[in-house]
Chains A and B, each alone.
Chain A
């Protein structure tokens, strides 16, 4: 139940379309992201708010915050070509059955790198995320856990372990074999964020995205959340 109405406390699945037209119960249009494992029936209480799941440092740190925002779009896109994309389904199955440890030391390093640098891979999964996936998503691989392959660059400490646990075949084949994924990535990169919070007080703005979106941001909060004004046409 990653999203919760801040007004009445109703919980929504990640990527739920119900939220887009405001809370069906109370009409509220402010929602907060609540990671798995939190009792979603509690009314919102800022003091009792759980910390966000750990995020990888660096440029990826805003990914989780924006996942909810883009999840619906992602699902539409994935849903559009998901039928002929076997790896997406396989990925989900593998993640839920083996959890976080299955991939250790078995997936090729290139695969690991790719997952770490591709926020949309995370976004895809939020749609059907279960506890194991959530945990996998939140975990950051430590240097000790890395396979024995030579890795000297400092960056490698910050990489994700892939969520998918299928031990043998690479979970993300070469781009040349998956033009649909490339398109998806480009599209997501284009639309991914309208405001990126580097840290409180430091923002990067995607002007085209701000211009293109129908709803608009009315209040930024210090932790990177923001309230949006839902257009009239969405409410009906």
Chain B
């Protein structure tokens, strides 16, 4: 039976590829450093493709190059939504190697990480301008969402008329406040989740299908 099911699956996959009317939408995962963007990207990729996107870390700026996972098929209510997810480096206005020294890093490594992170931010901003069809904006709900970077990025995304889904991540933390994010960006729907624990991912996938399908 397993064989048959597999066969059926691959036929329907081929059919949906054949008949899909357009290319998969490219969805950029944006947000400040350490909001959990890579954790979320890995969660989505693992749930639907079995692979991961990239390494996660508590040290900020672990992701210094945009990483893409193509053809992620998300199935909702019998409907399939295919997206490419792009995990981007955390966007910030200041990168300082001394921040990394606190994480037991040698100065040379910290300076290099800082330089790469800066290049990564430049790249992420460039992608936002040209290469994404929608944005998942990830915020750490345990920190203050009212920042210059968040306001500016969400403003840019709005000015581009890109569909945007705001995710209030890290609801497993005690200090988490989803309401604070809702208050900060009342013009957008905010979905709570814990990408690390996998909490509320069903709603996240519902919304991804609704916004980007």
Which A positions have Cβ atoms within 8 angstroms of B?
194-195, 200-208, 210-213, 216-220, 222
Could you tell me the distance between the alpha carbons of A201 and B110 in the complex, rounded to whole angstroms?
7
Contacts of A195 in B (CB 8 A): 118, 122
Instruction: For the complex formed, measure the closest distance between the CB of A80 and the CB atoms of chain B, giving whole angstroms.
Output: 26
Is B44 at the interface (CB under 8 A from chain A)?
Answer: no
Chain B residues positioned under 8 Å from A203 (CB to CB): 94-96, 114-115, 118
Interface pair B93/A211, CB less than 8 Å apart? no
* Chain A residues in 8 Å Cβ range of B98: 201-202
B70 within 8 Å of A (CB atoms) = no
B122 near A205 with CB under 8 A, answer: yes
Q: Is residue B137 within 8 Å, beta carbon to beta carbon, of the partner chain?
A: no
- Looking at the assembled complex, report how far the CB atom of A220 sits from the nearest CB atom of chain B, in whole angstroms: 5
Complex contacts, B11 vs chain A, CB 8 Å: none
Binds A, one of B73-81, B149-157, B164-172, B176-184: B149-157
A212 to B130, CA, bound (A): 10
Nearest B residue to A208, CB-CB: B152
Provided the pairs A202-B114, A205-B121, A220-B115 are in contact, do residues A210 and B126 lie with their beta carbons within 8 angstroms?
yes
Count residues of B near A (Cβ-Cβ below 8 Å).
26
Q: How far is A202 from B95 in the complex, measured between Cα atoms in Å?
A: 6
Shortest Cβ distance from A145 into chain B, in angstroms?
A: 36
Residues of A within 8 A of B110 (CB): 201
Chain A residues lying within 8 Å of B91, measured Cβ to Cβ, are 207
Asked whether B47 is an interface residue with its Cβ less than 8 Å from the other chain, the reply is no
Taking a contact as CB atoms under 8 Å apart, the answer to whether A211 and B119 are in contact is no
Q: Does B13 have its Cβ within 8 Å of any Cβ on chain A?
A: no
Interface pair A210/B93, CB less than 8 Å apart = no
Closest to B125 in A: A210
Instruction: Please name 5 pairs of A and B residues whose Cβ atoms are closer than 8 Å in the assembled complex, sorted by A.
Output: A203-B94, A203-B95, A216-B126, A217-B119, A218-B119
A-B complex: 8 closest residue pairs judged by Cβ atoms: A201-B97, A201-B111, A216-B126, A210-B125, A217-B122, A201-B114, A203-B118, A211-B125
Looking at the assembled complex, report how far the CB atom of B17 sits from the nearest CB atom of chain A, in whole angstroms: 30
Min CB gap A213→B, angstroms? 8
